């Protein structure tokens, strides 16, 4: 039996009951999941792969899990497609991307290899590899690795050279990968090829100049509106003002693309999410021209999964990206609206003190609260609640901050439970759209100009939603349950 057959057999024999998992967010059938990989359209279907270790709930030798969707809400699980079974990827098939080509669906991934130096010490080598398939089965090509680490310019790290993101421009393939320069600063390197097998080094697309963490993982590069966006996931960031927190995070560099020199002329660098659980986002373009982003809804430093839970890791809801007036907006994919049921709405409702509104409760919801007016200074929405548990967002009007608190969500680990976000673009009204799927909340502020994503594994019977206000607030509420039982998108 091959390594891949073994992994797929293990998954079949050990799969976790769907009832224990989120309803419309991608999770592994069993075991560990991290970064989204190979998010792409192939033969009219959207494919998503992911970093996967089926055999335990911990990170381990990386495989690629696989699922497909027609509408970003209902996902179909398929067998895993890559296992670390070659000399050049024996230490793992790390992150990468995919593209539709004349020869099939091409996956570009990082093969990780360990080898011994002459003095007997161990060295890690990361290089880029290719596998081609028909949407179900994929074959690693004989030319692997197609970009050996030795092809990097002198001084660039061969140990940190990973996560290729591929695209095509006028018949030429381009690939952006994370890397480190001689100063140990993160950078994104650009390569080009005509045939996916022979690649030439082009340039450093951007580098962190010692400012944004260390290594830059999981780059993605694409046009949006009239600009270009480079998404990176920096490691080891230090908090600096309200934009970035400590540790790993996801950033977007927005600017102009100097194509001649293969260089991004950055104009602004922003955080892609202010929550506790958002990393390694990847995007794709749909056939109708939308740029959709999905991310790993977890963080490396915080493992809050309850003991005994045999799956670990979720993806975010796929989000539509737009750039308007120089600002990046994220909105849940519009297809989620086809799965809305049980609507409940309140218009111009006055809130003062604590209140529960009839019909507003649950753990799988699309809930929008619009704060219209009033003399309130603080407004709290608390959810996943009962007499024992609750998690909340508190809006503090004076300071224009939103404070998240999951201290009482049932967490038994010593991890970050409170984090706040400064509202960057104050509007007359504050619109909070919250997407709940059992163990997560994704908050979209004012049509997605800022987002806040976090997980909590509160027992599912905690379903209360409580609104609280220190004085008086006039609000509109719109709530839908989300149900994926029927196929509503055909």
Binding site for ligand FRU (CB under 6 A): 34-35, 51, 62, 94-95, 110, 162-163, 217-218, 279-280
Shortest distance in whole angstroms from residue 163 CB to ligand FRU: 5
CA distances to 73, 153, 348, 384, 479 from 475, rounded to whole Å, are 29, 58, 5, 21, 13
Shortest distance in whole angstroms from residue 94 CB to ligand FRU: 3
35 is catalytic: yes
Cα–Cα distance measured from residue 314 to residue 41, given in angstroms and rounded to the nearest whole number = 21
Residue for token pair 């991934």: 109
Please list, in sequence order, all residues whose beta carbon lies within 8 angstroms of the beta carbon of residue 25, skipping any fewer than 6 positions away.
297, 314, 315, 316, 317, 437, 440
Looking at the Cβ atoms of 51 and 69, the one nearer to ligand FRU is 51
Selected catalytic residue, list 35, 89, 163, 366 = 35
**13: alpha, beta or left? (left if phi > 0; alpha if psi -120 to 50):** alpha
Cα–Cα distance measured from residue 189 to residue 200, given in angstroms and rounded to the nearest whole number = 11
CA distances to 54, 389, 428 from 252, rounded to whole Å, are 31, 35, 27
Shortest distance in whole angstroms from residue 5 CB to ligand FRU: 22
Shortest distance in whole angstroms from residue 152 CB to ligand FRU: 16
Cα–Cα distance measured from residue 489 to residue 279, given in angstroms and rounded to the nearest whole number = 29
Shortest distance in whole angstroms from residue 46 CB to ligand FRU: 21
DSSP state at residue 121: -
DSSP state at residue 174: E
- Residue at shortest CB range from ligand FRU: 94
DSSP state at residue 230: E
φ, ψ at 336 (rounded to 5°): -60, -30
Q: 3-class DSSP state for residue 151?
A: helix
Looking at the Cβ atoms of 293 and 351, the one nearer to ligand FRU is 293
Looking at the Cβ atoms of 110 and 271, the one nearer to ligand FRU is 110
Closest CA to 7 of 51, 50, 54: 54
Q: 3-class DSSP state for residue 360?
A: coil
DSSP state at residue 14: H
Shortest distance in whole angstroms from residue 218 CB to ligand FRU: 6
Looking at the Cβ atoms of 35 and 57, the one nearer to ligand FRU is 35
Q: For the chain, give me the number of helices (H) and strands (E)?
A: 1, 31
Please list, in sequence order, all residues whose beta carbon lies within 8 angstroms of the beta carbon of residue 343, skipping any fewer than 6 positions away.
478, 479, 480
Looking at the Cβ atoms of 65 and 448, the one nearer to ligand FRU is 65
Q: Which two three-digit tokens encode residue 110?
A: 């990082």
Looking at the Cβ atoms of 126 and 330, the one nearer to ligand FRU is 126
φ, ψ at 20 (rounded to 5°): -90, 0
What is the CA angle 332-476-23, rounded to 5?
35
Looking at the Cβ atoms of 47 and 180, the one nearer to ligand FRU is 180
Residues counted in the chain: 490
Looking at the Cβ atoms of 95 and 271, the one nearer to ligand FRU is 95
Shortest distance in whole angstroms from residue 456 CB to ligand FRU: 21
Shortest distance in whole angstroms from residue 64 CB to ligand FRU: 10
What residues are annotated to the active site?
Answer: 35
């Amino acid at each position: 039996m091959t390594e891949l057959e073994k992994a797929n057999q293990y998954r079949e024999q050990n799969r976790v009951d769907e009832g224990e998992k989120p309803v419309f967010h991608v999770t592994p059938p069993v075991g560990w999941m991290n970064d989204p990989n190979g998010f792409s359209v192939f033969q009219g279907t959207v494919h998503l792969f992911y970093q996967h270790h089926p055999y335990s709930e911990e990170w381990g030798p990386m495989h690629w899990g696989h699922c497909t969707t027609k509408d970003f809400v209902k996902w179909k699980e398929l067998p895993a497609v890559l296992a670390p079974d070659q000399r050049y990827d024996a230490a793992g098939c790390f992150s990468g991307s995919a593209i539709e080509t004349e020869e099939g669906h091409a996956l570009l991934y990082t093969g990780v290899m360990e080898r011994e130096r002459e003095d007997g010490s161990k060295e890690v080598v990361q290089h880029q590899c290719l596998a081609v398939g028909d949407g179900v089965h994929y074959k690693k090509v004989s030319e692997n690795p197609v970009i050996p680490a030795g092809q990097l310019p002198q001084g660039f790290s061969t140990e940190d050279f990973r996560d290729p993101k591929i695209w095509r421009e006028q018949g030429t393939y381009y690939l952006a990968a994370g890397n480190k320069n001689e100063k140990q600063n993160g950078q994104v390197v650009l390569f080009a090829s005509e045939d996916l097998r022979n690649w030439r080094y082009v340039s450093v697309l951007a580098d962190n100049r010692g400012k944004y963490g260390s290594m830059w993982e999981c780059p993605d590069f694409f046009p949006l509106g009239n600009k270009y966006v480079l998404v990176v996931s920096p490691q080891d960031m230090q908090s600096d003002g309200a934009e970035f927190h400590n540790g790993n995070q996801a950033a977007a560099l927005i600017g102009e693309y100097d194509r001649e020199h293969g260089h991004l002329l950055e104009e602004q660098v922003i955080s892609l999410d202010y929550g506790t659980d958002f990393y390694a986002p990847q995007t794709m373009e749909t056939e109708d021209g939308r740029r959709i982003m999905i991310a790993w809804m977890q963080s490396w430093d915080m493992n809050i999964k309850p003991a005994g839970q045999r799956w670990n890791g979720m993806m975010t809801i796929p989000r539509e990206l737009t750039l308007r007036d120089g600002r990046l907006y994220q909105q849940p994919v519009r297809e989620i609206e086809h799965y809305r049921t049980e609507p409940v709405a309140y218009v111009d409702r006055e809130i003062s003190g604590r209140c529960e509104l009839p019909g507003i409760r649950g753990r799988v919801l699309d809930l929008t609260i619009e704060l219209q007016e009033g003399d309130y200074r603080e407004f709290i929405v608390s959810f996943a609640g009962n007499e024992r548990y609750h998690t909340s967002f508190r809006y503090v009007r004076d300071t224009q901050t939103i404070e998240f608190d999951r201290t009482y969500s049932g967490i038994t680990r010593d991890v970050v439970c409170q984090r706040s976000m400064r509202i960057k673009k104050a509007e007359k009204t504050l619109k909070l759209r919250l997407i709940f799927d059992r163990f997560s909340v994704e908050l979209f502020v004012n049509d997605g100009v800022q987002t806040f994503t976090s997980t909590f594994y509160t027992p599912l019977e905690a379903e209360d939603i409580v609104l609280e206000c220190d004085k008086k607030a006039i609000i509109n509420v719109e709530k839908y349950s989300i149900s994926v039982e029927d196929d509503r998108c055909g």
